Structure 1
Amino acid sequence: MNEKIRIGVVGTGLIAKGLTLALENQPDLILTGILTRRDIATMTSHPSSELLTNSVDDLIDKADLIVVSTGDVIYGTDVIDLAIKANLPVVTMDAELQVTTGSYFARLGLITEAEGDQPGCLAALKENAEQMGFKPLVYGNIKGFLNLNPAQEDMEYWSKRNGTSPGMTTSFTDGTKVQIEQVLVANGLGAGIAREGLLGYESEDSHSGGVHLAEQAKELGMPISDYILAPKVPPGVFITAEHDGRQKDALRYYKMGEGPYYTLLVNYHLCHLEILKTIRRIINGGGVLLNNNTEPAFSAAAVAKRDLNAGEFVERGVGSFQVRGIAVEIARNLNHVPIGLLSDAVLLRPVKEGQTLTFDDVKLPDSLAVRAWKEIIERASVYSTI
């Protein structure tokens, strides 16, 4: 009963490396393997270099649970497929994968996004809010800046300065990351989106922005997943909600304002440090924190940042200078290409700036991720007509 739970980690980037450090002194957890595609001989500076492996089978054989944080939908899908087949629970910090193939895996085994990134933090905040009697109207992300088409030179500069990859930096800057995250939140928490591409109101603070979004949610008659653009607000998440009117005086006394809308703010998200909470949630039988739902209503579509030419090669969609991602309703866009699937793709015909890419526009290499998405779409086209 005192044996430690064996954790395998997939990835060696910023989040995965931070998690390996965090696992070093946990009384109930032990890191048993780190899967990488890189040449292990060149990775002697990795803090747990002795645990690096290029073998998926080796990682799975030594693990009771795996954590996936690669940002590569195609590769991550292949790894998770093997883990699910081995009956291992899977924790991800990979919203890109969740909104692309997560629904495929949600029907086959236990897969959950972790607390720490904005979607997982919103799921945890929702649980807390509802236990206190709040009725969420807005699941809000806080974004400090936005440039839909940033220059490559600028992204390389900020990438080096922040210690993140150029692709990650670009996806944060052009809004792709927040669109993907709020798609996952909408699907996983049963919310809607107010419009394609989200609203993204500019705001001085989380509450005024949340109230503005809450008014839209009331008009639509459902909770919404969205974000505010608020440079002065710390990065984090918020929920704007209603409450029982009889609690108005108490909530005023608790400095929550006059109502009828109240904003609960988490002014941080600590990524890899919070993954530990979700690992323990699964170990203790708490079940899924957040996944993309077995029947997702929304997706993150690839939209051209500039005119694209026939024959043009797209190495990677998320974080590229050719496309960005926007939230869309699947039922209205059954032929769209999810930005997470754009990997080693070739344009079959010209695509104009601002146009949503479809499967008629591109040739994608065969992969489990592509096949999984087509299965998701086949199911979506059925239940969208019911």
Structure 2
Amino acid sequence: MNLYSLMQQRTAESGPIRVGVIGAGKFASMFLTQAVGSAGIHVVGVADIDVAKAKAALARTGWPAERYAAASLDEAARTGGTAVIDSADALLVHPAVEVILEITGNPIVGTYHAVTAIDNGKHVVMVNVEADCMVGPLLQRRAQQAGVVYSMAYGDQPALISELVDWCRTVGFDVVAAGKGTKYLPEYNYSTPDTVWNYYGFTDEQLASGDYNPKMFNSFLDGTKSAIEMAAVANGTGLIPQDEGLNFTPAGVDDLSSLIIPAANGGTLSRKGTVEIVSSLNRDGSDVFRDLRWGVYVTFEAVTDYAVQCFAEYGVKTDPSGRFGELYRPYHMIGLELPVSIASAVLRGEPTGAPTGFRGDVVTTAKKDLRAGETLDGEGGYTVFGKLAPAATSLERRALPLGLAHGAKLIRDVPKDQTVSWDDVELDETQFATRIRRELEAEFRAEHAEAAMVG
């Protein structure tokens, strides 16, 4: 609880924390508007393949033009300014940069950026959950071996959920489930970039701001992003996804401790110690009362009768038995909160959440009947969506991770709602991210097999 004082001390003694930003979309914009007034953070460079877009993001978020006029990273490091460049490679190797913020949302390039940053001795704040859920467990091990921090992004929901789980375990409760809220109906699984704005109800003025990518927002809607984030939470906390994945149970904040508990105790979960999404919509499309659409939660169980008594005495919201409680945060502020991860990595050497194993995976699932010869378009597109599965199930099915589904060519038909496997597609096996994922699967398949034998 003393990060701010540590930042002040660091700034006074050796200057601000030096950061490189890769990607200049909405999340980055939210971080940049906080960084512009921070004495403890120096954004040395912003890299985006569209330099004009990156400069527009800086201007829109309150940066005077002279602040990002540096002609090079060397000049930016020397003068305290910021360079805007079209290639991330210079940021990844520049000696002035201490922390890389990977915010592209692209799992293929994100994997390369993270590995390169780690190999060059830089901390990585992996905003790119798409890459993290695909190869994060391996990246974390690589970072640990290199003596740097690989971290979830504070402000994004996986890190905030992991924080709630950590609180729960530290104080001595049994974690029942953890997750977040979202807007969901079963029909959304089949949404495409052509239908997404109608479902969201965004205005033309909002869309004109330049922050809204239809594929990205469609991935929020069709269940993919929820699967991605819950896989990250599972990998970071040790919670195991349910065999069926996510139920998207309609539940408001007053219902968590009654609904998001095991079915044997009157709830909806098929197992304890898992992850779950709660929907802000009832299945008939009506709004859930006091929904948690923007927030995160944990449900937990008292381990003694005296703790149950304390729940009642202090007004803890519980199920009818009084044993299951809940704690929630009603909203998250994504990039606005990112400085917490930066400060934690540099000043404490601690991540704000990180993978500790491979427990959850996002498997590629057909949105429609797919035919051999078709090319998949990945997250938020027209052809597939992501479903959460236990990692052991994914490995057993040889499921294609969603992060590799963009550009993959089908060599066999796949019916609607069926999992796409490695055997159903033709991939470039020389691609860096594919090789890293193959390495992860080989390593963890062996670990899962060994654990099964011991069990």
Provide the TM-score with structure 2 as the length reference.
Answer: 0.79
Is 1:45 the counterpart of 2:56? The answer is yes
The one-letter amino acid of 2:441's match is I
Distance in 1 between the 2:133 and 2:162 partners? 15
* Matched residue type, 1:46: A
Letter in 2 for 1:133: G
- Please give the alpha-carbon distance, in whole angstroms, between the structure 2 residues aligned to 1:46 and 1:290: 28
Offset, 1:67: 0.9
2:394 equivalent among 321, 333, 337: 333
Distance of aligned partners of 1:130 and 1:310 in 2 relative to their CA distance in 1, 3 Å threshold: same
SS at match of 1:45: helix
1:291 aligns with 2:354: yes
Does the residue aligned with 2:422 lie in a helix, a strand or coil?
A: coil
Amino acid across the alignment from 1:55: S
- The 3-state SS of whatever aligns with 1:269 is coil
Q: What is the 5 A alignment of 1:28-67?
A: 28-38=40-50, 40=51, 44-47=55-58, 50=69, 51-60=83-92, 61=94, 62-67=96-101
Shift in Å at residue 69 of structure 1? 1.2
Q: Which residue of 2 aligns with 1:273?
A: 336
CA distance in 1, matches of 2:52, 2:14: 35
Select the residue among 288, 291, 308 that pairs with 1:248: 308
Code of the aligned partner of 1:111: Y
Q: Provide the C-alpha distance between the structure 1 equivalents of 2:16 and 2:317, rounded to a whole number of angstroms.
A: 46
Aligned 8 A contact 1:330 1:380 in 2:
no
Secondary structure of the 2:423 match is: coil
For residues 238 and 194 of structure 2, what CA distance do their matches in structure 1 show? 39
Q: 1:57 to 1:238 in 2, by over 3 A?
A: same
CA distance in 1, matches of 2:421, 2:264: 30
CA distance in 1, matches of 2:394, 2:172: 36
AA at the equivalent of 2:156: D
The corresponding residue for 1:193 is 241
The SS at the match of 1:82 is helix
Query: Which one is further off, 216-225 or 332-341?
Result: 216-225
SS at match of 2:142: coil
- In structure 1, the residue matched to 2:77 is none
SS across alignment from 1:153? coil
CA gap of 1:330–1:129, structure 2 versus 1, over 3 A, is closer
Structure 1 counterpart SS, 2:180: strand
What pairs up with 1:325-364 in 2 under 5 angstroms? Answer: 325-334=386-395, 335-364=398-427
Aligned to 2:371: 309
Paired amino acid for 1:78: Y
Residues 370 and 290 of structure 1: CA distance in aligned 2, closer, same or farther (over 3 Å): same
Q: Which amino acid aligns with 1:153?
A: D
SS in 2 for 1:360: helix
Identity rate of aligned residues, in percent? 25
Give the residue type in structure 2 aligned to 1:310. A
State the 1:44 CA deviation. 4.3
The residue that corresponds to 1:214 in the other structure is 261
* 1:93-119 deviation per Cα after TM superposition (whole angstroms, max 9, x unaligned): 222111111122111112111121111
Match of 1:238 among 280, 297, 301: 297
Against the structure 1 CA distance between its residues 174 and 42, is the aligned structure 2 distance closer, same or farther, given a 3 Å change threshold? closer
- CA distance 1:29–1:186, shift in 2 (3 Å): same
Q: Tell me, yes or no, if the aligned pair for 1:206 and 1:228 is still in contact at 8 Å.
A: no
Residue type of the alignment partner of 2:301: E
Change (3 A) 1:42 1:319: closer
Partner of 1:96: 130
Counterpart for residue 379 of structure 1: 443
Map 1:55-204 to 2 at 5 A.
55-60=87-92, 61=94, 62-109=96-143, 110-146=149-185, 147-157=188-198, 158=200, 161=206, 163-203=211-251
* Matches of 1:312 and 1:174, distance apart in 2: 21
Give the superposition deviation at 1:124: 1.5
Cα RMSD over matched residues?
2.1
**Structure 1: which 5+ residue stretches go unaligned?**
none
Structure-1 residue corresponding to 2:279: 229
Are residue 10 (structure 1) and residue 18 (structure 2) matched?
no
- Tell me by how many angstroms 1:79 deviates: 1.1
Distance 1:263 1:41, change over 3 A: closer
For residue 207 of structure 1, report the CA deviation from its aligned partner. Answer: 4.4
Which residues of structure 2 form unaligned runs of 5+?
A: 1-12, 70-82, 144-148, 282-287, 451-455
Separation in structure 2 between the aligned mates of residue 222 and residue 285 of structure 1, nearest angstrom: 32
- Of residues 254-263 and 43-52 in structure 1, the stretch that sits farther from structure 2 once superposed is 43-52
Q: In 2, distance between residues paired with 1:347 and 1:190?
A: 34
**SS where residue 59 of structure 1 aligns?**
helix
